[in-house]
Structure 1
């Protein structure tokens, strides 16, 4: 019945299901006993029509009340046909990694895969997905707002798994992690029968807690009652925490990594010299260059690598949209040449760190420091979720920052604690560019912070920009434009716009993360302000880190320096 045992603050003691069609009693959403009585009365008679709607309910009650019926669903033609088609002997939790360019997938996603057998092809499997029923006309900001406010209904859907591979791995270039669940056949059958009961049934959908991951935990709880997956209060249900919850309760028996097509292409690229990479990229635009002297001078194996890389690149960048005759012709020419050259196998991808092995998604920090050489301070910080650029990258997407609801209180010797910063959201994607991939790096953030305007005061702001980032071994420079809208009581207008640049350099090696950067804005009221910072983070344990920073906040003709040392504790 999906009754909330206290896992979320909303609807405690009531069913999460927000659809009258699911309940047989008038007050079934609020009164489980009334729903039990109504269900028993409706399902006990032979050939009761409601058996066809609720096969899992019937089996549950028949087992407890000892109802005798050898063919309880013989009259259920639609259900029997569906059940014959949906067969599975293995359940796999699938975790497509984070995809920052999709608001609903910034934290990653989870779905279930139902395999027909141990040796069956995954292309024949079914995928169980829970998601918001949204309109394609909704823009990204509107989607985020409605997702946070519960403005969308959520539904389960059962689709061929091959569609999800195409969507996540091919279309969105997302790596996928697959976790085989330790469920026996009877438990899998419970899960499948309950899925039929949930067909076209609406739940409330909330981006932070009642989301895809939370609903899948409910499904596993149906399959294995008493697994205690929903006993703890959840302010936010991040997909990686779903994997951790299943792993902590020994419900995962095997893990498999499936790289995206973009990762496979990058592995091919790394096998070639810069000169060969350049020629391979040109071949994708003009296969006629296979007749050039530069190409013909290369050995057969080098030719095969360049042609294979050009072909895979051409297919990758043209995977969306209508079929282009010119692209199809070039692909055929390259493919024909590939068949004439030695076979090139895509280098095996070394499995990256599994996402569940990373640090916790919440963070509590204590810090002390000094501002302008004579003002000592102490700080207490809390972040609801999730990860910033300097946190330990083990298990996380490189160059990605997703922070939500971060709070910092500061106390000095001369005053009471006061709000120093409130980050509502801070998202940053620094995706490196290379000859074959040229993603846009971007960021957006907003909230409250203390900034100089006659004195340090609390201002409200929204800020963002876009540009480029490049990988140079362990170094990653970036350069972004930056636009800022600020509500400042010292400014004449309600909202004051500013523009500038955000530039910096990241260094990542093992447990050490370094960043030096500067961002400055020139406002339309002739105010100029910039902030520069050097920060270093040492992850001395999985859930603990030390961070030191030296920063300067400057304005026309003046500025303040600040040093801070912070201990950070991460937890789920």
Structure 2
């Protein structure tokens, strides 16, 4: 029957083909294999598994109890009777499965979180739902989560290095959903998408069996490749034959891409949106007047008593809204600022008591569900093909980007002001037969979050790479490290931001080998005119070599042509060291 080549067997032991065509399992724990060569030999592992299942003895340590998903699948394929391959009562597994009490499965997708390197692209895990479970009862359901077992003592550089090259073990954890909601929605203010999967009760049980098999197993964790989303795909492959989801992501697995693949495979029955605490608070504060917002802040800060004239003078509906927002902001501050609960418990109780004395339902409307989910946005790879002029010299342009989204890419499915770019390279061929690498951005991240009267985050940017620098008579390539910090404010459907930037540049064209610059950056992000755009003004004053200030102004506007196509126009005027240059560039963008 060649069962060792069956896709289901290969998925259960997490085999994949290497670039040389050989088999290798993603599992990095010798205890997961029953054959000495099992990591690289599906046939030897299958033979060893059958021998172990047929061995005498019993109890939770028997192979039939250690690998119930393998046992169930082999028994169904080989149709062996009880005499040949008898069932084994597995007390530990049975009690664990009864505790989970899973009837169906949901895929959970918390949105991206720029303040954590491992969560910049979002996160995915599974929730085990019970039969006829209400929406409120979902919070008590269990989840299956795969994440890196991080040493909290590691510094950021060591953390990034180990995360990129598999230096951390990946571990499966099972915990209540309310703990994950508290972690992602309350503490990190990440909206959550919940996808009810079209798995049968039998497939759900087989998923539980397989999670039992791999729960104690080490898988080396890679932030880009074998991450949380990759492991979710491998679990789904193991319970439904022929899906082949994992094969679609041989080198990297971005959560939004993997969710898109699960949707395209027809595995999703319905989708629910769970707004974060910050999203709810922002939506509710927009429904208050300026005066009511001021009163709500004063109440939450304990600056005015609950029986003050300002409160009593409000109509019942307006007083209800003000009290509710005051309580929500106090709760948000408690979580975000990690305030001692005993320091705010008395005020929280008084706010809730005052609200309970008003006999009317809440007049505040919940935030609307976004028009596009995170998995419905453009794809992360991007290729630009265009033409333009640098002063009066024409050129053709090619741009290739590995991931993920920049400020002027199509906005649906992405957060305004959030930018994550990896490996973004730009090339030009000028009319005088001159080919140039224009820039290579290794990483470029921007977190521009508007401040409100209640939530006041800092905006920041960081970038690393190489780019052309305008000097008096040339544009040499220099390496750079940029960073900025400042404030952003919402304006209509867009935002304005102001940052104080610092720049370190290095290269042979710089007399001392390196130079440092400081200066302001002001920008306006907007939506409209068929897409979205950025008007950006920046000054950098360098201080190490000859003192001079460089910078420029740039308009970057993108017209959306569907989800995965766009037309981009860039106009700019740049000032270098005693020189100026103007730029025009028109490009067609393709996302894939």
TM-score, normalised via structure 2 length: 0.92
Aligned to 1:88: 102
In structure 1, the residue corresponding to 2:146 is in which secondary structure? strand
In structure 2, the residue corresponding to 1:319 is in which secondary structure? helix
Contact 2:471 2:579 in 1 (8 A): no
1:469 lines up with 2:488 in the alignment? yes
- C-alpha distance 556-397 of structure 1, shift in aligned 2 (>3 A): same
Aligned to 2:477: 458
What is the CA-CA distance between 1:282 and the residue it aligns to?
1.2
Cα displacement string for residues 277-324 of structure 1 (whole angstroms, at most 9, x for unaligned residues)? 111111111263433333222112111111111011001110264634
Contact 2:16 2:25 in 1 (8 A): no
Cα displacement string for residues 212-258 of structure 1 (whole angstroms, at most 9, x for unaligned residues)? 11110110011101012133354321101111101111111111101
- Give the one of 330, 334, 359 matched to 2:351: 334
CA distance in 2 between counterparts of 1:26 and 1:76 reads 25
- C-alpha distance 136-12 of structure 1, shift in aligned 2 (>3 A): farther
What is the CA-CA distance between 1:46 and the residue it aligns to?
4.6
- Give the one of 382, 385, 400 matched to 1:382: 400
| TM alignment of 1:37-76, pairs within 5 A | 37-48=47-58, 49-69=62-82, 74-76=88-90
CA distance in 1 between counterparts of 2:203 and 2:532 reads 45
Contact 1:4 1:15 in 2 (8 A): yes
Aligned to 2:536: 517
* Bigger mean CA deviation after superposition, 291-300 or 244-253: 291-300
What is the CA-CA distance between 1:67 and the residue it aligns to?
3.0
CA distance in 2 between counterparts of 1:73 and 1:393 reads 55
Contact 2:503 2:516 in 1 (8 A): yes
Aligned to 1:246: 262
CA distance in 1 between counterparts of 2:87 and 2:443 reads 51
- Give the one of 442, 449, 462 matched to 2:467: 449
What is the CA-CA distance between 1:9 and the residue it aligns to?
5.5
Cα displacement string for residues 35-55 of structure 1 (whole angstroms, at most 9, x for unaligned residues)? 111111111235451222111
| TM alignment of 1:224-239, pairs within 5 A | 224-239=240-255
Cα displacement string for residues 508-536 of structure 1 (whole angstroms, at most 9, x for unaligned residues)? 13742121112222222224321320121
- C-alpha distance 72-164 of structure 1, shift in aligned 2 (>3 A): farther
Aligned to 1:368: 387
What is the CA-CA distance between 1:14 and the residue it aligns to?
0.6
Unaligned 5+ segments in structure 2 are 1-11
- C-alpha distance 233-317 of structure 1, shift in aligned 2 (>3 A): closer
- Give the one of 267, 277, 284 matched to 2:300: 284
Aligned to 2:93: 79
Contact 1:468 1:479 in 2 (8 A): yes
CA distance in 2 between counterparts of 1:384 and 1:98 reads 17
CA distance in 2 between counterparts of 1:135 and 1:453 reads 46
| TM alignment of 1:250-329, pairs within 5 A | 250-286=266-302, 288-319=304-335, 321=338, 323-329=340-346
In structure 2, the residue corresponding to 1:81 is in which secondary structure? helix
- C-alpha distance 57-431 of structure 1, shift in aligned 2 (>3 A): same
Contact 1:366 1:379 in 2 (8 A): yes
What is the CA-CA distance between 1:477 and the residue it aligns to?
0.7
- C-alpha distance 277-533 of structure 1, shift in aligned 2 (>3 A): same
- C-alpha distance 17-493 of structure 1, shift in aligned 2 (>3 A): farther
CA distance in 1 between counterparts of 2:298 and 2:578 reads 51
CA distance in 2 between counterparts of 1:11 and 1:403 reads 32
Contact 2:16 2:26 in 1 (8 A): no
- C-alpha distance 72-323 of structure 1, shift in aligned 2 (>3 A): farther
Contact 1:518 1:533 in 2 (8 A): yes
Aligned to 2:31: 21
Contact 1:535 1:547 in 2 (8 A): yes
Contact 1:240 1:356 in 2 (8 A): yes
What is the CA-CA distance between 1:453 and the residue it aligns to?
3.7
TM-score, normalised via structure 1 length: 0.95
- C-alpha distance 140-368 of structure 1, shift in aligned 2 (>3 A): same
Aligned to 2:578: 557
CA distance in 1 between counterparts of 2:22 and 2:174 reads 28
How many residues align? The count is: 569
Cα displacement string for residues 101-133 of structure 1 (whole angstroms, at most 9, x for unaligned residues)? 111111111010010113251122111111111
Aligned to 2:5: none
CA distance in 2 between counterparts of 1:479 and 1:235 reads 37
CA distance in 2 between counterparts of 1:509 and 1:565 reads 18
* Bigger mean CA deviation after superposition, 325-334 or 277-286: 325-334
What is the CA-CA distance between 1:30 and the residue it aligns to?
0.7
RMSD: 2.0
Unaligned 5+ segments in structure 1 are none
Aligned to 2:118: 104
| TM alignment of 1:172-191, pairs within 5 A | 172-191=188-207
Contact 1:24 1:38 in 2 (8 A): yes
- C-alpha distance 522-4 of structure 1, shift in aligned 2 (>3 A): farther
